[in-house]
Structure 1
Amino acid sequence: MTNFVGVTRNGDVAVVLLDNPPVNALSLHLREPLAKALGELSDDAGVAAIVLACAGRTFVSGADITEFGTPKQLQSPSLPDLCALLDTIAKPTVAAVHGTALGGGLELAMSCHYRVADAGAKVGLPEVKLGILPGSGGTVRLPRLAGPEKALKMIVSGAPIGAQEALAAGIVDEVAQGDLVEAAVAFARQKAASGANHVPVRNRDEKLAAAKADLSAFDAAAAELKKKARGLDAPVACAQAVRNAIVLPFDEALRKEREAFLTLVAGTQSRAQRHLFFAEREAAKVPGLAGAKSRDIRKVGVIGAGTMGGGIAMSFVNAGIPVTVLEMTDAALDRGFATIEKNYSVSVSRGSLKEADKASRMQLLSRTTDYADLADCDLIIEAVFEEMSVKHEVFGKLEKIAKEGAILASNTSYLDVNEIAAGTNRPADVLGMHFFSPANVMKLLEIVRAEKTAPDALAAAVAVARKIGKVPVVVGVCHGFVGNRMLGARGAESEALLLEGATPAQVDKVFTDFGWPMGPFQMHDLAGLDISWRNRKSRGETAAIADALCEQGRFGQKTGRGFYIYENGSRTPVSDPEVTTLIEQKRRERGIQAREIGEQEIIERTLYPMINEGAKIVEEGIAARSSDIDVVWTNGYGFPIGKGGPMFWAELEGMSKVVEGLRRWHERTGKPVYAPAQSLVGKAQAAA
């Protein structure tokens, strides 16, 4: 018995209980006593079977990520050592799984002969989300239990599955109806008494037979999954490792898996993805909220049934929270609800949503044209036109009808939330909840804390964001907050690049080669050029090329023309000679001689200013920490997760290089966007 591993006897069945709060991670201080206990029980003639169970809220949730890249990760007994030890035990071993058995937890469970799970358990191998693959036999054992194609899908996606699905797939052998450990002990005793030969998972090849005979179906499935990798190494390595499990002997496939794991874990992509894993958890630690009680949110009001309002409403009903949607006319409500129903129908047709679930979600939606019908809502979010006068009008109506303690939120993406709050008699109830489009899909939620926002209102917004499956990041008030303020800095030189000789397609290709899902000009076309045009006009700003396109009615994909042509409703951008002519015209008007612009210059004039603005945002306290910025950009703007977000990538790029580039362009252009932030200069000096 140790502080982390205890052994009790239930007759001739030994129960090994792991207890390493909070999630029973497989730290070295747990692995050592576990290996000792298993070795002793294997040799104990009085033990007929062994049950492996866990204390607390979950089975082993995985490896201890904090040990990655440290000597402890590989120190004996490693997780592969434990799995190999379980392979050698002749008496039946049973994993009793509750909560989540993820990553190393599932690998440990699959090294037992059998698995009994409770009804609420989930199992999976999510290592791909950390830029690695299962490194302790997961890619070799799971195909033997679930079949190679099911294993491939689980490992490359990293998505966990529930107990019943795991039972149907053959990953678990029984789903317990009562007490889990009692059920596992009974199962183990029955297996021990049967006299049957207990075959280790490593020796089970029957589910590999079809793929061994014909790999074409597996290879086709792997090719489809790898298409979504977008420059990430881990999904490709995962697919190859599962293929190795089919075509190679167990030990050779296991050796190759381990080699691939060690290569990936030492690489920059895994470092970046592990950084994001911890960054999301750090973002949850909001300064000033320690001990703050959260307000209850049981019903939500959404003002606006357009694309954004409808998506926000779907986000809440998807989590079982009823929503009342308000619009000015029944016709607008009809259009909005038709779009919501269409979106759900698409999910049903794809098999990702059941018809009954669609019906239950639609039943949680109610509609109104009367503000009074929002009086019983705990949270009301406006998603109306992005003009301060319109916001003031809406909030003026809300404060008259909203119940005491109701949170009044603006979905503004740019405007001053302090000014919005100042127009009410209840500024403590006002904050920003900036959803990203499509709101029912995008994970990021920027929660804007105004000067007078009450702590319990802010805590409630953060809590409900998590409940609806969003990644919340609390930010302060400034124009554009974190994401859009940095987006403005990223695009500050976009027109200058075109006027000096680059093309939209060339700039966009640099971005997609970097790992972005699309480039800035494709993004403008997707969002609608009229939106940024309207925002510029409200601030007295101009953009020669983009303004000219808008004046011609070229608003992007919605009109079939923007920086690109979109033919016959296609979303595929096609370069347009008319845009080239327009750029040349604007260049001549300014007396600019076109020159060759390279990839590095495009990077320096787009990403470096964005990083610089991010550093200023942290200096000003708009973001609590630079890692919050990385969470914003990877979850809301498509920054490649394999590069860890803009601030992490800047460290990889080298702070001295970034500052040198900023200074060089500041000298050449005199533009403030290039003036290096003091914190960047300090980091560059420290690294020198």
Structure 2
Amino acid sequence: MAVTWRRDGMVGFVELDSPPVNAIGQAMRQGLLDAVDRAEAEGVSRVILSGAGRGFAAGADAKEFDFPPEPPHLPDVLNRIESSAVPWIAAIHGPALGGGAEIALACRYRIARADAQIGFPEVILGVVPGAGGTQRLPRLVGMEQALDLIPSGKALSGQAARGIGLVDMVADDPQAAALALGDDVLAAAVPVGARDVTRAEAAAFDAARRTAGRKMRGQGAPLRAIDLLALAQDVPLAQGMTVERETFLSLRQGAEARALRHIFFTERGARQPKSIAASGRAVTRAAVVGGGTMGSGIAYALLNAGIAVTLLETDAAAVARAQANVDGLIATSLKRGLIDEAGAEARRARFAATTDYGAAQGVDLAIEAVFEDMGVKHAVFARLQAACGPDTVLATNTSYLDVNQIAAGLDDPSRLVGLHFFAPAHIMKLLEIVRGDASSDEALATGFGLAKTLRKIPVLAGVCDGFIGNRILARYREAADTLLIDGATPAEVDAAMTGFGYAMGPYEAQDLSGLDIAHANRRRQDATRDPNRRYVAIGDRLVAEGRLGKKTGAGWYRYDDGRKAVDPAVEALVRDESARAGVTRRAFSAEEIAHRLVLAMINEAAGILWDGIAQTASDIDLVTVHGYGFPRWRGGLMCHADQVGVAQVLDGVRALEREDPLVWRPGDLLVECAARGIALRDWTRG
């Protein structure tokens, strides 16, 4: 049963019981409605409502969103709870999110554990609260607090919720506290819906809209939520709830909500494939080779997960730099309140930096994070296999290099797996797990187990230049450079992609990472580059002039006191390069720029899936969203392609093929899916 009832004397106990997260589906709604009827029929003095297992209720069952709503509808159920002659008390532990928080709002009194999580994350799924959240919350905590919570989707701890009046009491045992609550206190509690709304000035709503536009660029749901909060100031509860419900039902069928549901469920389904039939090695001790930005970030991610780390460097100066890098990450976390002093000391105690590879003896996993040079990596792994035990799993963090070539230098290449972290490694969620030809299932399973320990999203990738993400990135940058030499400016390209939904465009992003990194990769590809493929050398000229990006004060843009500014010298250089190439420059609209760049990425991604480098279209969605900034509200690159329509995508690529048949040749997967009339997500290798 989704809802259980028991009675003890004059108290009714109702428990939400739909594991694992007590999602609010039709059976639970009906169970709650039946519980209201039963409590009133039996004449109990109060009802204590709690959740089974790990939490109260983590929101509506999003799987129902793709189907017509079935009665009883949650707003009607909650109106019955709020208006019942029998007062209900919400006893909250764990998550009370979305519909779960709305249930709590409908109760007469709310008691939470200090570590509970209470919030309204609906906008994160492209919808708004649909059962009174936008109308009841400002009546309980005031409009300015509601404007902070609902359009952002953030959750509060039980303690923080008590601070703003979202809950009435904090207790270690909310059910016991609800049972002990005095009748006079409960009798004096006013139903939330009967309270007045504390009004906010127009400036508060304007500020909330600006914040939503900045932090949730391109999304419509946060702005609609703000409109509903504004409505709560001017209309009665029932009228506001009617409009809220209509808005919710309309949004949940929209492209934004469907895309966000797709990425939500894809994230939760990211795990070790069934084809890897092994258990991995549990990692309690690890070695990291290389203490630069990436290596220190990997080390800190491991430390955060409770893993002891030995960081290996080449000399005493490098050891000191690595130690300083890790100390700096600990200090930053301490300053931001992410850890306390005890946590900082525990991390320091688990960390050591040294030049002695012998210190890696007995580690469960050794991760190489050194310069992208095959000779350097072979030397590192020769030392690691000599120092580590035969059961130690070896991993390379290479971004582009051939994992099979790296493994070929080992006595036992089956020990090696690619673990491609993304910078900053202790923050970014994505982990590409690269399967070499010889990689054992145990080595791969160790990677997936580590991802779970680090709370990262794992994606299995095959071996090719750049794997999944960087192969798409390379094509994205190539298409952007072609636009540049044909008539666009860096600022126009960046503006078009931020307009599409990226946080920053390709040139600002390259300035942030450093132009020398992309330049080194282009030099690595010189020997194998197709001479018939168009090559744009603008970035090379910038590097030759010492313009390496933000770290040198100039790259594609100029940085005065850290502030980005368009540099006329770069635009002049671009025009000069066009003239050198004999190109007559033309104007491109923002829509045309975004259209071309997105099509380039989709076509490349289709090739990645066709080649077996990625296992599913959804895996590519995870990589593009979590590794490369593709707008989450579009669901990922392949989800976006499916929403546009594969036939339309293919038509767009074929139109561009007339300009450059080599670069724009449609991928076999696009052709096949269009011919069969199926989505990319539904394609499987026959």
Any idea what SS the aligned residue of 1:495 has?
Answer: helix
Aligned counterpart, 1:678: 668
Single out whichever of 428-437 and 119-128 deviates more from structure 2: 119-128
Q: Does 1:105 align with 2:103?
A: no
1:172-191, aligned counterparts within 5 Å?
172-177=167-172, 181=175, 183=176, 186-187=179-180, 190-191=181-182
1:363-385 per-residue CA deviation (whole Å, 9 max, x = no partner) reads 43322121111224322221100
609, 622, 625: which is aligned to 1:618? 609
Aligned counterpart, 2:363: 377
Aligned counterpart, 2:509: 523
- Aligned counterparts of 1:310 and 1:141: Cα–Cα separation in 2: 47
> CA, structure 1 residues 238+440, in 2 after alignment: closer, same or farther (shift >3 Å)?
farther
Any idea what SS the aligned residue of 1:433 has?
Answer: strand
Single out whichever of 13-22 and 57-66 deviates more from structure 2: 13-22
Any idea what SS the aligned residue of 1:593 has?
Answer: coil
1:266-288 per-residue CA deviation (whole Å, 9 max, x = no partner) reads 32111111111112123325241
The answer on whether the counterparts of 1:380 and 1:409 sit within 8 Å (CA) in structure 2 is yes
Single out whichever of 581-590 and 434-443 deviates more from structure 2: 581-590
460, 482, 505: which is aligned to 1:474? 460
> CA, structure 1 residues 680+233, in 2 after alignment: closer, same or farther (shift >3 Å)?
same
Amino acid at match of 2:594: I
1:387-426, aligned counterparts within 5 Å?
387-426=373-412
- Aligned counterparts of 2:151 and 2:288: Cα–Cα separation in 1: 37
Aligned counterpart, 1:447: 433
> How far has the Cα of 1:342 moved from its partner?
3.8
Aligned counterpart, 2:45: 48
Structure 1 unmatched runs, 5+: none
- Aligned counterparts of 2:224 and 2:315: Cα–Cα separation in 1: 53
The answer on whether the counterparts of 2:291 and 2:325 sit within 8 Å (CA) in structure 1 is no
Amino acid at match of 1:254: M
1:212-223, aligned counterparts within 5 Å?
220=207, 223=210
Single out whichever of 308-317 and 163-172 deviates more from structure 2: 163-172
1:564-612 per-residue CA deviation (whole Å, 9 max, x = no partner) reads 2222333x1x232322332233223322222233344423432212111
The answer on whether the counterparts of 1:388 and 1:415 sit within 8 Å (CA) in structure 2 is yes
> CA, structure 1 residues 376+645, in 2 after alignment: closer, same or farther (shift >3 Å)?
same
Aligned counterpart, 1:276: 263
Q: Does 1:459 align with 2:445?
A: yes
Any idea what SS the aligned residue of 1:491 has?
Answer: helix
**Over aligned residues, Cα RMSD in angstroms?**
2.6
1:481-520 per-residue CA deviation (whole Å, 9 max, x = no partner) reads 1000111122223332222222222222211111111111
Any idea what SS the aligned residue of 1:472 has?
Answer: strand
Aligned counterpart, 1:550: 543
- Aligned counterparts of 2:60 and 2:415: Cα–Cα separation in 1: 42
1:13-52, aligned counterparts within 5 Å?
13-45=11-43, 47-52=44-49
Q: Does 1:159 align with 2:154?
A: yes
> How far has the Cα of 1:248 moved from its partner?
4.7
> CA, structure 1 residues 322+133, in 2 after alignment: closer, same or farther (shift >3 Å)?
farther
Any idea what SS the aligned residue of 1:408 has?
Answer: strand
The answer on whether the counterparts of 1:324 and 1:366 sit within 8 Å (CA) in structure 2 is yes
Aligned counterpart, 1:607: 598
Single out whichever of 558-567 and 640-649 deviates more from structure 2: 558-567
> CA, structure 1 residues 241+487, in 2 after alignment: closer, same or farther (shift >3 Å)?
same
556, 573, 586: which is aligned to 2:577? 586
> How far has the Cα of 1:118 moved from its partner?
4.3
Any idea what SS the aligned residue of 1:251 has?
Answer: helix
> How far has the Cα of 1:355 moved from its partner?
5.0
Aligned counterpart, 2:684: none
> CA, structure 1 residues 649+332, in 2 after alignment: closer, same or farther (shift >3 Å)?
same
Any idea what SS the aligned residue of 1:606 has?
Answer: helix
549, 556, 568: which is aligned to 1:563? 556
Q: Does 1:8 align with 2:3?
A: no
- Aligned counterparts of 1:681 and 1:184: Cα–Cα separation in 2: 64
215, 229, 232: which is aligned to 2:219? 232
Q: Does 1:253 align with 2:244?
A: no
1:62-101, aligned counterparts within 5 Å?
62-71=59-68, 74-101=69-96
494, 498, 501: which is aligned to 1:508? 494
- Aligned counterparts of 1:56 and 1:348: Cα–Cα separation in 2: 32
1:247-326, aligned counterparts within 5 Å?
248-284=235-271, 286-289=273-276, 292-326=278-312
Aligned counterpart, 2:127: 132
Amino acid at match of 1:95: A
> How far has the Cα of 1:87 moved from its partner?
0.8
- Aligned counterparts of 1:372 and 1:124: Cα–Cα separation in 2: 50
Any idea what SS the aligned residue of 1:445 has?
Answer: strand
Any idea what SS the aligned residue of 2:269 has?
Answer: helix
Any idea what SS the aligned residue of 1:283 has?
Answer: coil
> How far has the Cα of 1:356 moved from its partner?
5.0
> CA, structure 1 residues 198+503, in 2 after alignment: closer, same or farther (shift >3 Å)?
closer
The answer on whether the counterparts of 2:57 and 2:99 sit within 8 Å (CA) in structure 1 is yes
Aligned residue pairs: how many?
A: 671
> CA, structure 1 residues 615+501, in 2 after alignment: closer, same or farther (shift >3 Å)?
same
Amino acid at match of 1:506: E
1:55-100 per-residue CA deviation (whole Å, 9 max, x = no partner) reads 33332221010111311xx322111111111111122212233332
> CA, structure 1 residues 463+245, in 2 after alignment: closer, same or farther (shift >3 Å)?
farther
Structure 2 unmatched runs, 5+: 530-534, 679-686
Any idea what SS the aligned residue of 2:394 has?
Answer: strand
Single out whichever of 295-304 and 634-643 deviates more from structure 2: 295-304
- Aligned counterparts of 1:278 and 1:197: Cα–Cα separation in 2: 43
- Aligned counterparts of 2:438 and 2:378: Cα–Cα separation in 1: 17
1:448-476 per-residue CA deviation (whole Å, 9 max, x = no partner) reads 12233333332332232233232221212
Single out whichever of 601-610 and 654-663 deviates more from structure 2: 601-610
- Aligned counterparts of 1:144 and 1:316: Cα–Cα separation in 2: 44
402, 412, 423: which is aligned to 1:437? 423
647, 665, 676: which is aligned to 2:656? 665
The answer on whether the counterparts of 2:315 and 2:355 sit within 8 Å (CA) in structure 1 is yes
The answer on whether the counterparts of 1:287 and 1:624 sit within 8 Å (CA) in structure 2 is no
Identity of aligned pairs, percent? Answer: 43
- Aligned counterparts of 2:450 and 2:135: Cα–Cα separation in 1: 39
1:654-675 per-residue CA deviation (whole Å, 9 max, x = no partner) reads 222211121222232121x322
